[in-house]
Each structure stands twice: as C-alpha cells, then as structure tokens.
C-alpha cells in the first residue's frame, strides 16, 4: 500500500515500535481517506503528504512524551497527534478529546479497528474535562492560537501538568501576544523542540507551557 511505503520512508529509524506504527498508521490513514469523502476531515490528499503532515508530524516529538503516564490530546480531530503517539508509546495512556460528536465516533471506531488498548475518546470540550480530570501532559496540534489556547487549557494547567503544543513558524508572535495572560496565570512558555518537515511541508515548534 502507498501509505505503508511512504511511512517507511519518512518515519525516524529510532522511533519505538516502528513496524507497528507503520502498519497501524497506514490503516488509520486509509480510514481517514474513506471517511473524508463524507465528513471532510482533512484537505491532505496524497499518501506522501498524509504520511508527513499527519503521522511524521505527530510522532516527531515522541521523546518529550516518553515516561508520562497520562496524556490528553485536546481537539484530536481525526486522531492526531494522539493515536500515532499512543501507537509509539504503549505504556502511556492517551485520552483523545473531541467535542464534535461525529468526529469522536470516527476516532472511537479507529481505536477499535486498530485495537489500541492505551487510547480512549472523550466526546467533550477540553475546558469541561479540565474541571474534573488531571493529566501529566496536555497536547494539541492544529489548535487555537496561543492566547485563546491558554484560556481554553487553563483548567488543565495545574501544578505538575504541562502542555506541549504543536505550533507553526509564527510561534514567537503568538507567545508575545499571550505573554500578559501567561503572567497573570503564573505560567511560562518555552520552545522545547524545533523541526522542519520533509518536502518543504512546514516548520514546527513544540511549545511547553508549565507553572
């Protein structure tokens, strides 16, 4: 399959459980492609672009998540980055939050299809989840700009919890715009990883938010 070939060509050689990730992520992308005809989950259509922008991008910062017991993926959409990370790190429990019901049901069906025991879906808004649950790491990709994200994630940013957000090339501007609110909340931003995706498909910065 095209997805399998492209994933094998782009995923890092040192990625944990690499063969399993390739097989399961290929199936995940196939399911996204099929449902995309009726649900419009993604504008990414070619196998290589999907392998890079959905799977490689999701797992590139895996070392930042290694060792965590619990991770919340806020606004997972069709399952990114939560599912690829759950496949990579089977000892970490991932909760994938998606408030749009039909998207949440799709991700539930993918988890069942792929048999991922360390992942589950919550069909709720992240703000509501944060009022009652606690996680070691909160992550989000293709989420809101930092000023808005900070307000949405505030209930989750308790002592001992840190956020790892996937951001694009305008990250410094977003950090500056959110600086005042961050100071009031007692949290700090730090860019803990930077990488460029292959084929000129984008620049990524991982921003850590912690008290």
Summary mean pLDDT of the chain: 94
CA-based nearest residue to 52, from 192, 171, 199: 199
**In the chain, where the domains are located:** 2-210
What's the pLDDT tens digit per position in 171-195?
Answer: 999 999 999 999 999 999 999 999 9
Residue 38 has pLDDT above 80, yes or no: no
DSSP string, 133-182: ---SEEEEES---HHHHHHHHGGG--TT-EEEEEE-TTHHHHHHHHHHHH
CATH code that applies to domain 2-210:
3.40.50.150
Query: What pLDDT is recorded for position 1?
Result: 65
Strands 203-210 and 188-196, by their bridges, are: antiparallel
Cis check: omega of the bond before 82, within 30 degrees of 0 = no
Give dist(CA 14, CA 77) in Å, integer. 27
Which of 137, 147, 145 is CA-nearest to residue 64?
A: 137
Q: Give yes or no for residue 104 having a pLDDT over 90.
A: yes
């Amino acid at each position: 399959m095209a997805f399998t070939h492209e994933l094998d060509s782009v995923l890092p050689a040192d990625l944990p459980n690499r063969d399993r990730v390739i097989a399961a992520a290929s199936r995940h992308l196939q399911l996204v492609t099929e449902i995309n005809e009726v649900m419009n989950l993604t504008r990414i259509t070619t196998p290589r672009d999907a392998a890079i922008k959905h799977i490689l991008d999701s797992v590139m910062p895996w070392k930042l998540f290694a060792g965590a017991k619990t991770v919340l993926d806020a606004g997972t959409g069709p399952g990114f980055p939560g599912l690829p990370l759950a496949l990579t790190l089977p000892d970490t429990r991932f909760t994938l939050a998606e408030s749009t019901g039909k998207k949440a049901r799709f991700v539930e069906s993918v988890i069942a299809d792929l048999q991922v025991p360390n992942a589950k879906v919550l069909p709720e808004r992240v703000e509501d989840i944060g009022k009652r649950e606690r996680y070691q790491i909160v992550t989000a990709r293709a989420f809101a700009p930092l000023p808005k994200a900070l307000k949405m994630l505030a209930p989750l940013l308790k002592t001992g919890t840190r956020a790892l957000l996937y951001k694009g090339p305008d990250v410094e501007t977003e950090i500056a715009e959110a600086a005042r609110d961050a100071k009031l909340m007692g949290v700090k931003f730090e860019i803990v990883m930077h990488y460029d995706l292959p084929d000129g498909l984008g620049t990524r910065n991982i921003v850590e938010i912690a008290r």
